[in-house]
Amino acid sequence: MALEEFENEPLSERQKGMIRMRSITNYGMGAFMLLAGFFFMFPTRYTAHFIDQYDPTMIKIFAVVCWVYGAFRIYRGYKKNYFVN
């Protein structure tokens, strides 16, 4: 069989469930990482004393990295390219 024939096969119920589960996980982790980025970029008065112990530049860089990774996870959950080689 040629590779093109495998690409056109319908997904089984198990594969559909796996795609749904991974998509929900990616959305959840993406939202968590975005919130973590906001937590580090804009600390509240309750959390400021924990964050002020570290270099402010490194905290801001870490917050941006959290935002980028969170956006990537949300994008990956949206595209759902899990069984594509």
| Nearest partner of 72 among 43, 32, 44, judged by Cα | 32
Per-residue pLDDT reduced to its tens digit, 66-81: 999 999 999 999 988 8
Structural domain includes residue 49: yes
Structural domain includes residue 76: yes
Structural domain includes residue 3: no
Give CA angle at 58 (52, 60), nearest 5°: 80
DSSP single-letter state for residue 41: H
pLDDT of residue 19: 87
Residue 54 belongs to domain spanning: 30-80
Residue type, 48: A
Per-residue pLDDT reduced to its tens digit, 8-53: 678 788 888 888 999 999 999 999 999 999 999 998 888 888 888 9
Residue 30: both structure tokens together:
């993406």
Q: At what angle do helices 13-41 and 56-79 cross, to 10 degrees?
A: 160
Number of domains in the chain: 1
